[in-house]
């Protein structure tokens, strides 16, 4: 079978940077060790290797927190955590072809993870899939960690159901159902679409059927209308032909009238032409006169125009001349000013040009001197070049020496730098060493302080625990007292309430018992000896007989003498008590009869009654005259004989059988006793109230004690937290002291190494410096042997020339600056001069133009004045000629009027004739158009008849009403007519048939999906019920073995399993059944452990890991749990972390874990008994 064979741990949690190997075997393996030793980290290492990524599961804040955090000299290489789990895979349950399957997980200090399967890199999902196939994947059932049992014990009923569902994989059913429901939704959607389409198609078919019928009706109407229209057209054709004949006659008549009117109009036109000729002749004569008049009017217009133009020009010229006379003097003054500026500007320009020429001459002399100096420099440099060529060989030699010096200097620099760095490192390490020494001293002091703080915390915790214990004991005593007092109060209250009711009843009826009870308080004062039933007594056998005889006197008060009787009677009267019977002892007569000697007679009844001697007379008074017999017959016979008789059964016969008293089951009333208890009951009620106050005080005291305990527990928690924090700090401080001590040793070694290195560098530096001095002396010797005066002379000469050139440049620079400045000023003056020249030229042109314009204006004014006067004279002459013509033109108007009247008369006659002709021509045109239209209509109707298949010989009748009704019907149909309806009806009907087949197929598909969903639901329910039965059976079996009690599972709602919870009912021996969440803490742990063991049977794993699941169990239950786990481990593997001896005793293999220097160490122990049993 698959099981964990070996685990390798490196750098994981408390396991240091050294490979730790833990071997495992099938069966029960125990891991034990002190708290904080790291025993649970072995299980966490397995969990980590198998791909767990939730830090909380492995009790870490994050994945990087799983890495070993205690540094030391043992670590080599990069910081990392690595765990490997080796599985025995002989049965190939893990689908890898290897007897041993090794899964390794590495995590670096950055939190990156790498997984290996048999040393080959793989992804995490592959590891998870392989473990899942082998049913060895980690979950909360086969990896039961610290706190898991507690969480399971607090699970709600619904959470218990969900745990079972997850273990048996009901989610797969849900996924199938979800996928099927999705398919069902799609199928429903498709079916809805198909149904909707079919509905639309069916609706469309109905619409198309109606439209098809309309189209067929429309076609029938069209044929009928064509026939009726042909009949109507034939009727219209006949009407048109008759109308055409009538119009032809009217047209011929109109044509003859037009011809006659045209002849009359021609005669009128001839007369009008003759009159116009006479008028024309007369008009020629009149035209000569009109021509003269026209010429005069033309001349008048022309001269008037010339006069107006001359007058306008004179005014314009006069205005312009005034303007010129105003502006011309100012322009002449400006011209004079410009002339003065021009003269000054020209003098300035002349001066600056002279100065500039002088400066340029000076600059030229400097340039010649500079040129000569540059020639001297060139010659000196030629000489220097020749000397340089000679010096090249010497320079090469010097260069070689210089290169050596440079290399030596570099080496010296390097050694000096190394020496400086070494000194700095040495100084730095020395400072760090000193700092570590100081830190070590400080930490040692802190260590002492922390140890003192821990001692103080321990002392405080011890003291607080003592106080908590004291207060807890006080609280328990108070609670015990409260419990007892509460029980006493309850019992007292019940009794008091019961007797209080009876007392109230007894007092209410005011019986003689009430009187007796009141007298009981003063028996001695009143001389009361007692009550009859208190003084007398008898055996049980004679009780019925005795009570039957003295029933009237049984509650009578017995006093000593008659005086006591009187005193008592007065007291009863004063107190107004009910009736009371009183018997004075001294006044009782002596009554005693002789017992008849007869069979069945037992004796006198007084002989069977017991009392003190002093009350014998009372006994005889009540019972001395009554004979006790065995049977009723004997009693009757003796009664007839004069005896009072009584049977044992309580049948009392008076003498002579005058009366009979039968007492079957009478008892002495206890009302007196109850009434006497009233004072006690009132006192009891007061005592109950006092007890309740006491209980309240004790409860308040218990609450105060509870608060004190809580406060001290908080202080204890704070002290424990403080002590743990201080202990952790001390542990960290110790590790830090150890680390600093190691660092101190490292620094000492490092300082010694640096010192030796520094000495070696110093020796090497001295050698290099001496070699450098030797090379420098060789260079000096070579340079001394080479004569350099010539080079120096040439260099000095070049230097002198350069200095002279620089001096010339310095002297020339202010001259050049002055030249530039004056040239710039000259340019500005010349620009200003140019500007003045332009303005002067423009002003001269303006003045000259004004002078010329003034002259021309004066000439034009004189000329225009002369023309104006001439024109005015001619205008006067022409107006006189015009007046003469007007006076001679009056006689021609009358003759012209006559001609015009004659022409007007003739023209009027002509217009009338033309109007008549035009009217008749319009009528003729209208008739011609009508005839044309009639002919066209005739032609169209003939063609229409031919189209309809008829001719003019068709029978005609009135069809207009029929056509109107048919057209009305056709128009109604036409508005909604679909010409393609018949064809569309056929096509869509065929499509509807195929859609119906598709709908049937979709319905079948949907029904299949629904059946599948129902089967999934059924399988899911059955799977859950099978799992439920398995868990229920396992719970019953395990719980019975562990406790001898009963435990079982119940479904809250069997009709709705998956929306209801799962009740886990527990019944310990001698206790009622309870829900698992309603029992005590230890019982919860036990029940939850049983539930976990039962759940493991649902999905058996080849190995299980338990982390201190028995921590909260007492020794007997832990022993029983270990027996069950031992039994379960046969054929499986249980790796269990436990501190219980019962587990360790039954383990095949035992590991112990202990801490040392912050690192967990593992030791192995095998029981020799197991080894010997294995060998046998």
| Average pLDDT, 10 consecutive residues per value, the chain (1176 residues) | 91 89 92 90 93 88 84 64 94 89 92 92 91 77 80 83 81 82 84 79 79 82 79 79 82 83 80 76 67 68 70 75 77 78 80 81 78 75 67 68 75 76 78 80 83 83 84 81 77 66 51 56 69 84 84 82 79 72 81 80 87 85 86 85 86 77 62 51 69 80 82 79 78 80 79 82 78 72 57 72 76 77 77 76 77 78 79 74 60 66 77 81 80 80 74 73 81 78 77 76 85 86 87 89 87 81 87 85 83 83 87 84 86 89 88 90 71 40
Q: Is the dihedral of CA 481, 482, 484, 485 positive or negative?
A: positive
Q: Check residue 1171 and give its pLDDT.
A: 44
Distance CA 458, CA 136 (A): 46
> Quick one: pLDDT at residue 21?
94
- The span from the CA of 170 to the CA of 651, in Å, is 86
Please identify, in words, the CATH class of the domain defined by 512-668.
Answer: alpha beta
Domain ranges of the chain: 1-137+1101-1176, 512-668
Query: 172 has which bridge partners?
Result: none
Q: Residue 474 belongs to what H/E stretch? A: helix 170-509
The number of helix segments (H) and strand segments (E) in the chain equals 22, 25
The pLDDT of residue 889 is 54
Q: Which residues of 203-239 are buried (b: 16+ CB within 10 A; e: fewer)?
A: ebbeebeebbebbeebeebeeebebbbbbbbbbbbee
Q: Does residue 67 sit in helix, strand or coil?
A: strand
CB atoms within 10 A of CB 507: 16
Domain 1-137+1101-1176: assigned CATH number: 3.40.50.300
Angle of helix 981-1043 relative to helix 170-509, nearest 10 degrees?
60
Q: Which of 668, 672, 640 is nearest to 655 (CA)?
A: 640
Distance separating alpha carbons of residues 830 and 353, to the nearest angstrom: 11
Cβ-contact 15, 68 below 8 angstroms = yes
Compute and round to an integer the Cα radius of gyration of the chain. 76
Tally Cβ neighbours within 10 Å of residue 514.
19
According to the model, what pLDDT value does residue 509 have?
44
Task: Please count the other Cβ atoms lying within 10 Å of the Cβ belonging to residue 291.
Answer: 10
């Amino acid at each position: 079978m698959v099981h964990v064979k070996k685990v390798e741990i490196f750098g994981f949690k408390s396991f240091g940077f050294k490979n730790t190997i833990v071997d495992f075997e099938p069966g029960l393996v125990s891991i034990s060790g002190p708290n904080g030793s790291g025993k649970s980290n072995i299980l966490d290492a397995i969990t980590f290797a198998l791909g767990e990524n939730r830090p909380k599961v492995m009790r870490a804040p994050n994945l990087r927190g799983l890495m070993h955090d205690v540094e030391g000299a043992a670590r080599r290489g990069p910081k990392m955590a690595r765990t490997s789990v080796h599985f025995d895979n002989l049965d190939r349950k893990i689908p890898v072809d290897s007897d041993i399957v090794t899964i390794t997980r590495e995590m670096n200090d950055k939190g990156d993870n790498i997984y290996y399967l048999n040393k080959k890199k793989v992804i995490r999902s592959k590891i998870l899939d392989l473990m899942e196939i082998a049913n060895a994947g980690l979950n909360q059932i086969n990896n039961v960690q610290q706190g898991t049992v507690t969480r399971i014990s607090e699970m709600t009923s619904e959470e218990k159901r969900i745990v079972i569902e997850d273990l048996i994989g009901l989610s797969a059913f849900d996924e199938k159902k979800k996928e099927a429901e999705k398919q069902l939704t799609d199928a429903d959607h498709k079916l809805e679409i198909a149904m909707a389409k079919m509905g639309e198609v069916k609706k469309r078919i109905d619409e198309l059927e109606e439209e098809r019928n309309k189209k067929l009706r429309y076609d029938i109407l069209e044929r009928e209308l064509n026939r009726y229209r042909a009949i109507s057209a034939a009727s219209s054709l006949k009407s048109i032909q008759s109308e055409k004949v009538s119009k032809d006659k009217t047209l011929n008549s109109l044509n003859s009238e037009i011809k006659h009117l045209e002849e009359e109009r021609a005669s009128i036109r001839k007369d009008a032409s003759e009159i116009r000729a006479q008028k024309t002749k007369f008009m020629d004569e009149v035209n000569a006169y009109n021509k003269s008049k026209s010429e005069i009017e033309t001349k008048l217009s022309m001269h008037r125009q010339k006069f107006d133009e001359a007058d306008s020009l004179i005014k314009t010229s006069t205005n312009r001349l005034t303007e010129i006379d105003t502006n011309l003097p100012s322009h002449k003054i400006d011209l004079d000013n410009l002339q003065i500026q021009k003269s000054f500007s020209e003098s300035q320009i002349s001066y600056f040009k002279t100065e500039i020429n002088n400066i340029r001459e000076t600059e030229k002399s400097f340039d010649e001197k500079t040129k000569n100096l540059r020639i001297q420099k060139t010659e000196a440099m030629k000489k220097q070049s020749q000397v340089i060529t000679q010096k090249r060989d010497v320079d090469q030699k010097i260069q070689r020496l210089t290169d050596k010096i440079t290399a030596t200097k570099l080496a010296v620099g390097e050694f000096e730098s190394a020496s400086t760095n070494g000194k700095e490192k040495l100084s730095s390490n020395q400072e760090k060493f000193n700092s570590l020494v100081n830190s070590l001293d400080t930490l040692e002091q802190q260590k002492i302080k922390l140890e003192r703080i821990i001692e103080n915390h321990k002392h405080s915790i011890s003291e607080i625990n003592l106080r908590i214990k004291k207060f807890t004991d006080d609280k328990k005593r108070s609670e015990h007292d409260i419990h007892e007092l509460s029980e006493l109060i309850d019992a007292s209250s019940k009794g008091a309430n019961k007797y209080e009711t009876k007392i109230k009843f007894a007092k209410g009826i005011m019986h003689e018992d009430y009187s007796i009870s009141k007298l009981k308080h003063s028996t001695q004062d009143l001389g009361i000896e007692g009550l009859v039933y208190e003084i007398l007594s008898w055996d049980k056998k004679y009780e019925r007989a005795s009570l039957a005889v003295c029933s009237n006197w049984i509650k009578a008060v017995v006093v000593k003498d008659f005086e006591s009787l009187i005193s008592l009677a007065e007291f009863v009267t004063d107190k107004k008590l009910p009736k009371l019977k009183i018997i004075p002892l001294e006044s009782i007569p002596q009554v005693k009869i002789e017992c008849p000697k007869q069979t069945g007679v037992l004796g006198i009844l007084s002989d069977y009654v017991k009392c003190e001697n002093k009350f014998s007379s009372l006994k005889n008074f009540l019972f001395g005259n009554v004979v006790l017999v065995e049977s009723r017959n004997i009693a009757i016979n003796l009664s007839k004989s004069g005896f009072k008789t009584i049977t044992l059964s309580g049948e009392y016969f008076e003498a002579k059988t005058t009366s009979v008293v039968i007492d079957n089951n009478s008892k002495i009333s206890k009302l007196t006793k109850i009434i006497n208890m009233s004072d006690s009951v009132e006192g009891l009620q007061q005592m109950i109230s006092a007890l309740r106050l006491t209980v309240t005080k004790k409860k308040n005291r218990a609450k105060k004690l509870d608060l004190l305990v809580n406060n001290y527990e908080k202080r204890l928690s704070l002290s424990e937290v403080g002590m743990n924090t201080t202990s952790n700090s001390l542990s960290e401080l110790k590790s830090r002291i150890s680390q600093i001590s190691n660092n101190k040793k490292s620094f000492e070694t490092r300082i010694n190494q640096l010192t030796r290195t520094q000495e070696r560098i110093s020796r090497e530096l001295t050698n290099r410096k001496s070699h450098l001095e030797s090379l420098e002396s060789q260079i000096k010797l070579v340079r001394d042997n080479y004569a350099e005066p010539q080079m120096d002379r040439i260099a000095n000469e070049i230097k002198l020339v350069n200095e002279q050139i620089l001096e010339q440049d310095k002297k020339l620079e202010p001259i050049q600056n002055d030249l530039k400045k004056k040239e710039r000023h000259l340019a500005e003056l010349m620009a200003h001069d140019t500007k003045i020249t332009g303005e002067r030229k423009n002003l001269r042109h303006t003045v000259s133009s004004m002078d010329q314009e003034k002259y021309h204006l004066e000439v034009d004014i004189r000329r225009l004045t002369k023309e104006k006067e001439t024109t005015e004279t001619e205008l006067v002459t022409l107006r006189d000629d015009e007046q003469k013509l007007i006076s001679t033109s009056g006689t021609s108007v009358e003759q012209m009027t006559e001609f015009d009247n004659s022409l007007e008369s003739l023209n009027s006659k002509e217009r009338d004739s033309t109007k008549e002709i035009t009217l008749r021509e319009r009528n003729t045109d209208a008739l011609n158009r009508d005839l044309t239209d009639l002919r066209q209509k005739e032609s169209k109707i003939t063609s229409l008849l031919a189209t309809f298949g008829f001719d003019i010989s068709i029978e005609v009748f009135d069809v207009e009403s029929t056509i109107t009704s048919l057209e009305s019907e056709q128009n109604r149909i036409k508005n909604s007519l679909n010409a393609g309806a018949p064809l569309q009806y056929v096509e869509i009907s065929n499509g509807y048939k195929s859609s119906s087949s598709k709908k049937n197929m979709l319905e079948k598909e949907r029904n299949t999906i629904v059946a599948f969903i129902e089967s999934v639901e059924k399988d899911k329910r059955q799977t859950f019920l099978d799992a439920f039965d398995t868990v229920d059976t396992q719970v019953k079996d395990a719980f019975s073995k562990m406790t001898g009690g009963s435990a079982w599972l119940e479904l809250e709602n069997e009709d709705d399993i998956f929306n209801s919870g799962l009740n886990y009912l527990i019944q310990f021996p001698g206790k009622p059944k309870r829900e698992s969440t309603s029992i005590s803490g230890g019982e919860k742990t036990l029940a939850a452990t049983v539930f976990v063991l039962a759940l493991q049977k649902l999905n058996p794993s080849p190995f299980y890991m338990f982390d201190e699941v028995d921590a909260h169990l007492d020794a007997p239950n832990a022993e029983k749990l270990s027996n069950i786990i031992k039994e379960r481990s046969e054929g499986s593997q249980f790796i269990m972390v436990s501190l219980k001896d019962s587990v360790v005793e039954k383990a095949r293999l035992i590991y112990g874990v202990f801490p040392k220097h912050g690192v967990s160490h593992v030791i192995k122990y095998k029981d020799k008994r197991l080894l010997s049993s294995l060998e046998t």
